[in-house]
Structure 1
Amino acid sequence: MAELILTSRLRCPECGHEKEEEMPTNACMFFYNCSSCGVRLQPLHGDCCVFCSYGTVPCPPIQEGNCCSG
């Protein structure tokens, strides 16, 4: 089994700002406020968290091949 990647670079769809963030391993992150423009991001339809929608790496449960229950 591959080691989990716990850092993902989130990209704001409004302003394009990117920031590397550490992903929680025990919960999904439903909301994220862009530190550049202040827009509040939430998962796109069908995604479990902001990392799966806007990150370079999906959340840990998805990396493990499990459903992310939130």
Structure 2
Amino acid sequence: MEIVKKKACGTHIYRALDEVTAETAAFPNMEAINNNEELSTPCDYCQQAAIYVVSNIHSPTIS
């Protein structure tokens, strides 16, 4: 199974959820990025700070 991950800000979270669902045909997993990572992680759709990671798997490294 291919792992699909999208980082998204609050504005683009629905787009990330839709794309992961379309690419994997599975229910997506949405996790919040912790405060330390949030400052340096850009959204995949714009330059704002990402606050979520949407993927088709659960990631134990994101809290």
- TM-score over 0.5 for the alignment? no
Higher-RCO chain (CA-CA 8 Å, sequence separation at least 6): 2
TM-score norm. by structure 2 comes to 0.32
Q: Rg bigger for which structure? A: 1
TM-score norm. by structure 1 comes to 0.30
